[in-house]
């Protein structure tokens, strides 16, 4: 946690640029969970060159010390987005997911946001046996998203 509080959007985006440059030469997808999911959404910005991005339970709205989120920056995004959310995630309200989708639509960003009604934040963890169906569906969607890029 001592390192997380030192993260900045500029620093994370510098890391994204470096990763994209290192992995160049074919279609590359950014995928992240939680804070990584939020940053995967930001990686949809065409300057990073990703073919698509997948975010698991990444907060799309204004959040804590990190400020405006992907919803507020939707006009800067362009690569296709797959967003996977838990409907029982107390940290990401359904309204925030809906606003994210509306902002992406308004910006013309290809996207699919899926919410699993009873799934909590972190539902893709293998330890959540009671959410196996959500995990299975999410994985199928991830695999289905990749060939379309």
Q: Looking at 111, 121, 131, 135, which residue is catalytic? A: 121
89 catalytically annotated? yes
- Pick the catalytic residue from 45, 73, 89, 135: 89
Q: Residue 136 half-sphere exposure, CB side, CA atoms within 13 Å?
A: 5
| CB-based contact 82:111 (threshold 8 Å) | yes
Catalytic, 125? Answer: no
Which ranges constitute the DSSP H helices of the chain? 9-23, 35-42, 94-107, 132-145
Measure the CA angle with vertex 43, ends 76 and 50; round to 5°. Answer: 105
Cβ of 54: how many Cβ atoms within 10 Å? 24
Catalytic annotation present for 34? yes
Q: Give catalytic residue positions.
A: 34, 89, 121
């Amino acid at each position: 946690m001592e390192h997380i509080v030192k993260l900045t959007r500029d620093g994370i985006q510098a890391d994204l640029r470096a990763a994209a440059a290192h992995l160049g030469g074919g279609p590359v997808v950014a995928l992240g969970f939680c804070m990584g999911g939020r940053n995967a959404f930001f990686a949809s910005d065409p300057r990073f060159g990703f073919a698509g991005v997948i975010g698991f339970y990444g907060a799309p709205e204004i959040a804590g010390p990190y400020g405006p989120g992907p919803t507020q920056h939707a006009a800067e995004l362009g690569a296709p987005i797959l967003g996977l959310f838990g409907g029982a995630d107390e940290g990401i309200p359904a309204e925030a997911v809906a606003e994210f989708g509306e902002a992406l639509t308004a910006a013309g960003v290809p996207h699919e946001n899926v919410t699993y009604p009873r799934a909590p934040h972190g539902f893709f963890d293998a330890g959540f046996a009671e959410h196996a169906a959500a995990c299975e569906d999410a994985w199928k969607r991830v695999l289905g998203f990749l060939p379309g890029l």
